[in-house]
């Protein structure tokens, strides 16, 4: 896989998982509303995919060492991977009750992070368990923080 595409896919996948999981957990803790969670997923899939793609585009341009084609490959790969990954989280929310969907989403997101981290570690010839542990820990922190922030927002708004 070309470096520019790998960069975009890696960024889009990890950002897609972390952002979407954080939003799902936070909105669920705040609203416990399937409609709010689905709306959030759609918003993340569209707005954040564009935002991340433009961010990668500008970052790659600012390095002043990539061709125009490489920059656009990274941009497109970021957008497509973020968009697709975010939308995959709709499946459990549509087909399961919200509590089960939350659990399924966390398992799905962590599985994607573990698989991509393993792939990346093997590509870089480093110990997979260290890379996986670090990346999973970050996701778990996001899940915990967004849950409690969502609970806090709900408590403030309810009285």
Q: Measure the CA angle with vertex 12, ends 9 and 16; round to 5°.
A: 140
CA distance 95 to 16: 20
Which two structure tokens, joined as six digits, stand for 19?
């952002």
Question: In this prediction, what percent of the chain has a pLDDT beyond 90?
Answer: 95
Residue 63 exposed, middle or buried by CB count within 10 Å (0-12, 13-18, 19+)? exposed
Task: Quick: pLDDT tens for 133-142.
Answer: 999 999 999 9
In the chain, domain spans: 3-158
Residues near 5 by beta carbon (within 8 Å), at least 6 away in sequence: 73, 74, 77
DSSP structure class, residue 96: S
pLDDT at 109 over 90: yes
Read off the pTM: 0.92
CA distance 46 to 134: 28
CA distance 135 to 145: 16
State residue 32 phi and psi, 5-degree precision.
Answer: 50, 40
pLDDT of residue 159: 78
Mean pLDDT of 128-154: 97
Mean pLDDT for all residues in the chain:
96
pLDDT of residue 101: 98
Mean pLDDT of 111-138: 96
What letters, b where the CB count within 10 A reaches 16 and e where it falls short, cover 101-129?
Answer: bbebbbebbbebbbebbeebbeeeeeeee
pLDDT of residue 76: 96
pLDDT of residue 48: 96
Q: Of the candidates 96, 123, 119, 122, which has an alpha carbon nearest to the alpha carbon of residue 107?
A: 96
pLDDT at 1 over 80: no
Q: Of the candidates 27, 43, 13, which has an alpha carbon nearest to the alpha carbon of residue 102?
A: 27
Mean pLDDT of 45-68: 95
């Amino acid at each position: 896989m070309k470096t520019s595409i790998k960069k975009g896919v890696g960024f889009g996948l990890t950002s897609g998982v972390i952002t979407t999981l954080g939003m799902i957990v936070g909105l669920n803790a705040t609203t416990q509303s399937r409609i709010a969670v689905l709306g959030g997923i759609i918003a993340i899939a569209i707005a954040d995919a564009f935002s991340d793609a433009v961010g990668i585009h500008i970052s790659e341009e600012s390095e002043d060492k990539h061709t125009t084609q490489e920059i656009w490959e990274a941009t497109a790969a970021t957008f497509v991977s973020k968009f697709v990954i975010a939308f995959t989280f709709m499946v459990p929310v549509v087909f399961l009750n919200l509590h089960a969907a939350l659990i399924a989403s966390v398992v799905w997101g962590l599985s994607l992070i573990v698989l991509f981290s393993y792939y990346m570690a093997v590509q870089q010839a480093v110990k997979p368990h260290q890379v996986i542990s670090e990346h999973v820990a970050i996701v778990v922190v996001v899940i915990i923080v967004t849950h409690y922030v969502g609970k806090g927002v709900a408590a403030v708004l309810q009285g």
